[in-house]
Amino acid sequence: MKQHEEQLVGALFDALDTEEHGVARRQLLGAYESNAAGGRDELIEGLVSELVAVLNDRLTRREGVDALTDAIGFLVDRFTSVVEVAPVAIVVVDPDGTVQLWNDGAERLFGWSESDALGHRLLSSESDASDAFVSSLSRLADGERLTGIEARHPHRDGSLIDIRFWAAPLHDRDGEFTGATYVATDIGERKRREQRLTVLNRVLRHNIRNDVNVVTGHLEALAADRPDDDPHVEAMERRLSSIVDLSDAARHLERLDGPEAEASRTAYDLSSLVAERADDLRTVRRPVDLTVRTPDEVEVTAHELLPYALDNLLENAVEHNESASPRVRVTVRESGDRASVTVADDGPGLPSHEREVLTRSEETQLTHSTGLGLWLVRWIVRASGGEFRVEDSDFDGTAVTVILHG
């Protein structure tokens, strides 16, 4: 309630006329200055107490009523304007689920007008709504707060729409349950887009792998009559390998999208993980001057695809470096509840269009990556609740730092 009390005090202060109630306003200002050194809760309690004294001592009964009426009217108007312009559905129901408030967003989402909805039940065990929505009122009555629940709810046209809703219980001053507030948004288009992408992804991956297997078989038959180091055969093998990598990247994309991304987070010892991926780099890549600096143990929480992101950063540090023995330094640091891993190289530097992949919100025709690698790094780090930065390394290359939470 502290925030609500603070808003009421502020509205009442503004309601006091500067000329007629100057003494009362100065008394409240004095109370604010004398309590400002304490905590926020103590400040609000002091202001509320002083406000009661001001209303009793400095204002007539009529003036006090007028000030309260003006302050409450101001707060109601502000609340009403927020509800009316909100682009989401906002609905208030009583303990039985009967609609008491229905904003324009609710009409757009569910199809019923305010006059149709008021006085009718939003939730019913006989409705076609999904169990998550039908059971929500009883959960709210038990004191739960519901956050980001996906459900289905009937539309006026008879269809079922996919929604995500948030809800909180309402109580009177005695703590009795008096209803609930729901906020809902349409996720139907997002669900349909996810389904289309999932089907397309799986069909493409299946066909790509089958075609690559066929081409690889024919290539091996042709290569039997060619020298072992035939550059044409090697070039085709690299291209086929790249196609398989692209298919794998598309598979990873599916696991990064949707509300299950947070559920896919897991705990890692960042030091051990970095050391393991660095060892893999040494075995599969050409000679590389690789230095790894890590504390003994650093616990972080990240998406389960974090190892893939690290592999990508390490491979990029080597792949675009024309030196006979590329120099790469990997450093893990820990600071409070956060940890970071920096991959620094002595290569030619990340091209500006690739660097922007890690900093821009979208890809454009003029600024785009040559592959999915950096986009996947960006999305994996974001799905991990982390952040990153790209800088020049201290040995004239690029340094990419990924910051994660413990």
Q: Give 10-residue mean pLDDT values along the chain (406 residues).
A: 56 62 67 61 61 64 66 62 78 92 91 91 70 88 91 88 92 90 89 73 75 85 83 79 69 62 79 90 76 92 87 84 85 92 87 66 47 75 87 87 90
Give me the phi and psi of 349, to 5 degrees please: 95, 145
CATH number, domain 261-406: 3.30.565.10
| Residue 208 to residue 214: CA distance in whole angstroms | 10
Looking at domain 87-186, its CATH class is alpha beta
Q: For 348, what's the count of Cα atoms within 13 Å in the CB-facing half-sphere?
A: 8
Give me the phi and psi of 170, to 5 degrees please: -115, 140
Residue 197 buriedness (CB in 10 A; 0-12 / 13-18 / 19+): middle
Name the one residue in this structure whose structure tokens are 């309260």: 68
Is-contact 278 318, C-beta < 8 A? no
Is-contact 328 289, C-beta < 8 A? yes
Packing angle, helices 373-383 and 231-256, rounded to 10: 20
Amino acid present at 283: T
Return the pLDDT at 366.
40
Return the pLDDT at 209.
79
Packing angle, helices 231-256 and 188-223, rounded to 10: 160
The string of DSSP letters for 6-73 reads HHHHHHHHHHS-TTTTHHHHHHHHHHHHHHTTS-HHHHHHHHHHHHHHHHHHTS-HHHHHHHHHHHHH
Is-contact 169 143, C-beta < 8 A? yes
Three-state SS for 248-271 is HHHHHHHHHCCHHHHHHEEEEEHH
Tokens of 54: 């001001």
- What is the number of helices (H) and of strands (E) in the chain? 14, 12
| Residue 336 to residue 264: CA distance in whole angstroms | 24
| Residue 406 to residue 404: CA distance in whole angstroms | 7
Q: What is the pLDDT of residues 124-163, one digit of tens each?
A: 655 667 788 888 999 999 999 999 888 888 899 888 899 9
Q: What are the sequence ranges of the domains in the chain?
A: 2-83, 87-186, 190-257, 261-406
Is-contact 145 169, C-beta < 8 A? yes
Return the pLDDT at 73.
63
Is-contact 121 99, C-beta < 8 A? yes
Three-state SS for 159-172 is CEEEEEEEEEEEEC
Residue 126 buriedness (CB in 10 A; 0-12 / 13-18 / 19+): exposed
